[in-house]
Homo-oligomer: A and B are copies of this chain.
Amino acid sequence: MANRIRLGMVGGGAGAFIGAVHRIAARIDGDYDLVAGALSSNPDNARQSAADLGIAPDRAYTSYEEMAQKEAARPDGIEAVSIVTPNHVHFGPAKAFLEAGIHVICDKPITASIADARALAQVKPKNGAKFLLTHNYTGYPLIRQARDLVASGALGKIRVVQAEYPQDWLTNAADPGNKQASWRTDPARSGAGGAIGDIGTHAYNLARFVTGLKTEAVSADLQSFVPGRQLDDNVHILLRFEGGARGMLWASQVAVGSENGLQLRVYGEKAGLEWRQDNPNYMWFTEFGKPKQLLTRGGAISAPPAASMNVRIPSGHPEGYLEAFATLYHQFAEVIRGKGQDFEPLLPSLADGVEGMEFIMASVASSKADGKWTKFSEV
């Protein structure tokens, strides 16, 4: 790409998982150059990780505050930053960079507490700096098409929404040496939600993204099956949406045999949709009384613009998780360049992040109150 955006990164040093994913996503469409980083709070790791990534030594920081300040002051300073730290280190850097006028790409959930989320929503970004929350599953072309189908009325009024995200990697107590597991099961770093924050929010966000339905209240039953675990590892939630639709959401980290079984099913008065992330290039679409149709990414049904704009290769050649992630990066780059008016409404926002935290907190509160139907405004 001729016109690359200068990118920095907070977190993502050696041994991190999601940082590497963000870097690939930033590279796929050639929109970014990674030129600065506060990759680790450990100075040696920060320095070495930066060197491995081709970041100049003077732009390898050990604190995000310093990075925000110095980069904002450079004529060739970063234009955007990716925040890929554990949840409790999202708020600080997000606030710092927005206030420094640097666009923020932030992993989800937005913060570790709802207070932080709401505080972040009050920040005044300098120079109109933008914010992207990487609810990456919304980048899948068929999820975009699902949203368009619902919005177009093809399903009629929505009645039932079934969302689920089972995994099994926390079936046993986590090995203390497992970095990914340890912070995700620690309330101090993860916040009040375990499975609900890590994956339940993805399922919730996906349901909201596709249906556009507003949530009225939730009734939850959260459970920690593994002895000694402080956060939930299995989440059963009933949902009531404005207008009368009903939903079920299941997220689990102890469902043996499940890898990343994110699934969304939506049923309206006229048609139904079914999609699974583990084979994301296909989606079932059934109009009542007609045979089931298997829609394919980039396939026979002329996809509406929102879906087609992020299809890189022909149907039948699978795209995956990284491409969906990259679509968010690419479309955010277009927004930064002032060419993203079509995309911007599709990109997960700060408001989505606040709602995600409300979903977590309302579910936790409902579960503590024996399943009492709880509104987001109550938390």
Contact = CB atoms under 8 A, between A and B. Distances in A.
Question: Interface SS of chain A: helix, strand, loop or mixed?
Answer: loop
B219 A316 contact: no
A30 B277 CA distance: 26
A322 interface: yes
B160 A252 contact: yes
A250 B265 CA distance: 12
Contact of A280 (B20, B28, B318): B318
Interface range on chain A: under 10, 10 to 19, 20 to 34, or 35 or more?
A: 35 or more
Interface stretch (A1-9, A126-134, A347-355): A1-9
A267 B296 contact: no
Interface stretch (A66-74, A94-102, A206-214, A283-291): A283-291
A257 interface: yes
Contacts of A281: 278, 320
Interface stretch (A111-119, A164-172, A182-190): A164-172
Interface stretch (A38-46, A50-58, A82-90, A335-343): A50-58
A358 interface: no
Given A169-B314, A278-B281, A320-B323, 18 more contacts: A2-B53, A17-B314, A21-B312, A24-B312, A27-B28, A155-B256, A160-B255, A219-B221, A225-B244, A248-B250, A257-B274, A259-B316, A260-B317, A261-B316, A317-B321, A318-B320, A320-B322, A370-B373
